[in-house]
Chain A
């Protein structure tokens, strides 16, 4: 009994150290004067300045944000509709196909998704002339597809948990099915829509492999630029960039978590 009570907290503590030490070091060394990322040369914010003067990074960040925003929005629409069909329609001919297709991207390696989509885009261009070349459009389609899979999982679990009799009661009070969806279902699953959207957004912002396959000239995303930089070794301006990203994401996630737990209470969950 005695040694177990020490063993568990120690391993857990080390586990969290393992999870957070690299992140902490990224942040600390982003303020390092020295270019040698691991030797402390005094406090400085010069790498932030350098970052903000780097047009390549800024341009890529802007492209990535646009792609993430559009693909997450598309993903949440497809994901919601898919989750709704799967959890509310008792049976239809393509149900198991749809169920398989919406969950498969979750376990499919990125390299396969990227390669297969690119090959299809090339084949499609040969056949019908669209999409004309690769670029932002093809990246958005790719990200929306796997983002929809994640969004659908989040939304479906909410739809299944939700008290379905409130939808029935709305029908009973004279609302047609589509009204019920917009008046009742959507507001009640709103927290899941928010988390699903955020999830799809971050996944898009984070993706290197798929984007590398389906991007074209002039549509390098932020991860692609970072990857080409860090392949050559550590560079402090990447640390600065990492710090900014981590800060924004942490604030966003914590705010969203608080918001969701609050509205979850209000909606009686």
Chain B
């Protein structure tokens, strides 16, 4: 892994003494009887690009709107930069928000849209002009400065919305599905642009998204939300490699889940007897569990090797038949059928061109993975 991963200064969340920039403490939001956000506690650090990731209706936008002051908290507190934000109106907060719909003022040109927030600060005209020009060229909209919003493409509108929020030099920028309205290709380009802008300005970003790939690409850390709760917070790698629940494992990427019972519980490994797999599964790390406890093992599709011949020294070996193959160019996805009736998904990189010995439909093959590949999930 790269050095930045081990560098404490770039990972303040790994430092017990670091002061968080945003402290969300036991926040709950109810709409009538309905609980949209439930007892969320979360620390976000200065300079982070934090992603709130979750399905539709999981409460991401509501949490974001509480940070920007559009929703009041039912209980709990939010502190930004050491200040309790209760009772502070949106127009008095040094945070800015970029809306999912971009919410450009339809009756103002690009320039006027961007200058609107600065004019509210009673800044000298010349300075406003200069700052607007700077930000316009930063988001590459120079030729469009005098256009009206309805004369812009989706990508251009998104950049106006971003510029309008950034020109205020907020301490914190909140972005609700910033790429939600863009098509896939444009979205990928824009993701890197967004990271560059964030790094060069050093503003703390909190981004809401339902797209796990986007969250993985953008973020320093991800908070996974479901049903109004944050179920796991961590760096993208951590979330992917060490999901803490069946929900997270399943939500981020695809995964093979084998249900079973703890058969052997040692300090450095556990063995799970899994009727799903039709075999015992060896996991090379200790787990605090009891014998006989019901448990699941999650194995990512790319961590499984396929071979026609039985591998010699793998910890876990299963036998199955090829049911489906999807050729995706850089890799192929295999759907394998075990004797127990369970289906297993395996991806293999297409390192060389397809040869004669390639695995094909109906072949009997062996799946194997190392002891470190599987993750035990207790909930």
Which A residues are within 8 Å of any B CB, using their own CB? Answer: 163, 165-166, 168-176, 179, 183-184, 187-188, 265-268
Task: Indicate whether B107 reaches chain A with its CB closer than 8 angstroms.
Answer: yes
Q: Which chain B residues lie closer than 8 Å to A265 at the CB level?
A: 150
The listed residue (A163, A176, A184) touching B91 by CB distance below 8 A is A176
Assembly CA distance A59 to B18 (angstroms)? 82
Task: Indicate whether B101 reaches chain A with its CB closer than 8 angstroms.
Answer: yes
B101 near A165 with CB under 8 A, answer yes
Task: Indicate whether B89 reaches chain A with its CB closer than 8 angstroms.
Answer: yes
Please classify how large the interface on chain B is, using the bins under 10, 10 to 19, 20 to 34, 35 or more. Answer: 20 to 34
Q: Which chain A residues lie closer than 8 Å to B100 at the CB level?
A: 165
- The list of the 5 closest CB pairs from A to B, nearest first, reads A173-B117, A174-B120, A165-B103, A169-B103, A267-B106
B91 near A266 with CB under 8 A, answer no
Assembly CA distance A187 to B89 (angstroms)? 24
Query: Known: A171-B89, A174-B168, A175-B91. Is A267-B97 also a contact (CB below 8 A)?
Result: no
B149 near A173 with CB under 8 A, answer no
B151-202 CB contacts (< 8 Å) to partner A? 164-165, 168
Task: Indicate whether B70 reaches chain A with its CB closer than 8 angstroms.
Answer: yes
A168 near B106 with CB under 8 A, answer no
B99 near A165 with CB under 8 A, answer yes
A188 near B107 with CB under 8 A, answer yes
B99 near A171 with CB under 8 A, answer no
Assembly CA distance A242 to B353 (angstroms)? 86
Provide the B118-155 mask, 1 if CB < 8 A to any CB of A, else 0.
00110000000000000000000000000011100000
Question: Which of B95, B101, B106 has the most chain A CB atoms closer than 10 A to its own CB?
Answer: B106
Query: Known: A168-B90, A266-B148, A268-B149. Is A173-B103 also a contact (CB below 8 A)?
Result: no
The listed residue (B101, B106, B117, B120) touching A266 by CB distance below 8 A is B106
Task: Indicate whether B368 reaches chain A with its CB closer than 8 angstroms.
Answer: no
Assembly CA distance A172 to B98 (angstroms)? 9
B116 near A170 with CB under 8 A, answer yes
Assembly CA distance A267 to B148 (angstroms)? 9
CB distance from A66 to the nearest CB of B (A): 32
Task: Indicate whether B274 reaches chain A with its CB closer than 8 angstroms.
Answer: no
Q: Which chain B residues lie closer than 8 Å to A184 at the CB level?
A: 105
B97 near A166 with CB under 8 A, answer no
The listed residue (A166, A172, A173, A179) touching B106 by CB distance below 8 A is A166
Question: Which of A172, A176, A183, A265 has the most chain B CB atoms closer than 10 A to its own CB?
Answer: A172
CB-defined A-B contacts under 8 Å, sample of 21: A165-B103, A166-B103, A168-B70, A168-B97, A168-B103, A169-B164, A172-B90, A172-B91, A172-B96, A172-B165, A173-B117, A173-B165, A174-B120, A174-B121, A175-B116, A175-B120, A265-B150, A266-B106, A266-B107, A267-B106, A268-B150
